[in-house]
Structure 1
Amino acid sequence: MAKFTDEDDALLEELGVEVDAKREGSRTPREERIIAGFEEIQRFVEEHGRSPQHGEERDIFERLYAVRLDRLRELEEARTLLASLDHQGLLSAGPSAGEASPDDMDDDELLSQLGVDLPAIADMTNLRHVRTAAEKRAAEEIANRDRCEDFDHFKLLFQQVQKELDGGIRQTRPFELKAEIRPGSWFIVGGQKAYVAEVDELFTNAQGRTDARLRVIFDNGTESNMLMRSLQRALNKDDAGRRITDPVAGPLFSGEREQDDQASGTIYVLRSKSDHPTVSANRNLVHKIGVTNIGVQQRIAGARLQPTFLMADVEVVAIYELFNINRTRLENLIHRVFDPARLDIEVKDRFGNPVVPREWFLAPLFAIDEAVERIKDGTITQYVYDPSTARLQRQ
């Protein structure tokens, strides 16, 4: 019968199988530990319906069980000891699937490949948050960045994307698919915006999976040539990781509805008939800009009783029908553009309480029309209304 060598003993010890001196009784402590370790593998098989497998995507315990099982299969003494217990036929099966046998690695290298520091193996059942080698490489690639020499070329892009996020033109969504990583795509990872500037040709890695080398620019002026799968893993592991959507495609407003469009509501521009001194003196300039998902006439019914309408009747001077648009975000965007001309006016509601409406602006109708056109062509985030010229000015 083959005996455990010193090298085998060292590996078994690192895998959670103690090597101890023989004691009185039918089994040595080492044999009992081998049996206990094998029973852990059996419990895994009972729970998951399969043998433990190798692979960077696997749980650290499963990978340790897979290495342990491969070693037990190779050792005749272990097979003899465990034969009567192997009701699942684990020892007679082939090597665990997923990666090459660890025979050519020494203990330190094996544990390093498993993502385990040597001190951590002392109490295997108490391992917590142990990173796989793949996770370590992904973290290293995120961290190991170079200064982006041509960041000035990308700086305006980052500023534009931030404005589009603020204005609701772009949104953030949870990252889901590797296919979302493509040239020109944007993400938030590690608390920073990341722009995929370049994607090299796809190739098949050692695990038979497609991958590609990227050039990723970060908003702090650094860049990385990480792999696509490294960015994918980083986004999946980051609870705050997000993809940034593309700008809304096509015009926001249209005179005709397309076949599959879903109506979202109407943007309306109103003129007040209030006799408030400020309104009376600037009647052709004072406009309320709002968005509604009901008919405009229904929205303004009873205007004279509502402080948001200055407790007076109103006149509809412009309407635009919306399709497939988030009403709240669009309204916030328009109000931000015209914020420098927001009317500071106080009215009393019907109970005598002071109210300051927030949707009235000192802006001519042609400026509002221009803002609508800028929304249509997607450039609105580059402009803000200038009261001194009564026009939109590029920021």
Structure 2
Amino acid sequence: MVEHDAFQKLLDSDLDGLLDMPEKPKKVTSSDRLERAFLEIVEFRRTYGRLPSPTTRAISERKLGARLDGIFADDDKIQALKHLDEFGLLDVPEAPRSIDELLEHDPFDLLGDETGIMDVSGLPARKQRFETEEVARRRPAEDFAEFAPMFQQKHAELRDGASELLPYSGMQHIVPGAFFVLNGVMLFVAEVGETEYKKSTVRENKRERLRCVFENGTESRMYRQSLGIRLADEDGQIVVPREQPEILTDDEVSGYIYVLRSRSTDPQIAGITDLHKIGFSRGPVETRIRNADKSPTYLMAPVDVVATYRVYNTRVSVLENLLHRVFADVRLDLTQVDKTGRNYDPTEWFVVPRNVIDQAIDLIISGEIVRYIYNADIRRLVERRDA
């Protein structure tokens, strides 16, 4: 009895919990390890905008690339990871719908010709004609009334000399808002869809579906590469502002950095002042956020586009990552539950004023950002003491 009392006194005096039994760690299952491994690949895709290569000299990337190849080879693993595949990395490539599409991608390099036997450069050139096939694929543009004034304006600019026609000079100019003339008909690139990644055993193919509106009231959903081929083969032209043609002839549009504001009614979100999402998109931001209320990436709520920045000749993902590093200390610390019941931690939301984001982008472009850090207490960018 005395021993029991003494032992009880010892337990009662253990205010720091030194005698508590440690909790038994939760056993990590093979399913947990598989999911963690795949989420590293997803994070690589989010950061760099591409899949990791299994043949690169970068050891960490090669490891992820080999891991992804192993997942591709196992249907059970693919099914087990589908709920985590936010970028469609595990989607099975569609079969080509035409000979042209098959020849365009040639994923296995079946048409490679080291002997020169297929070289037809010495034969007379023959213009390709797509009219019948392409016209058959077009359909009436239901909202053409919204675009008609834009075509009228462009024709007026051409007549007045405010704009001019230049020869088509590359797919880097096929961006949202661009006007082209193809076979005498003006077209407007209304949308460039999200990049589709089609994985093969040889290489990764990328393509974007366009929405092209034609001045005759029709529209097409051709691929960006297909429009580029047609413009090149049929002497297409681009409509360029006369006072600023150098932007379209020399510079390449890399993508867009965007800033969003949430319209969430969740008290723990709605009550945060200056909460902004800083993200990257290769195509129109409006297309990317269309289903924001269904995605934990956008806090399961509609969003407003506060600002977009078109970036030229730059790896936009690098610019985005640099912005995230500048504001890392004010990243939103919040866990949400998605529609499948899984926890999700949004990583691109920051509590920072909009004008400070503008300033940070200017400093990044000028190269002076290395001299600054963000001070959350005074909500300003300040010079480093060691700069």
From the CA coordinates, give the structure whose radius of gyration is larger: 1
The alignment's TM-score, normalised by the length of structure 1, stands at 0.34
TM-score by length of 2: 0.35
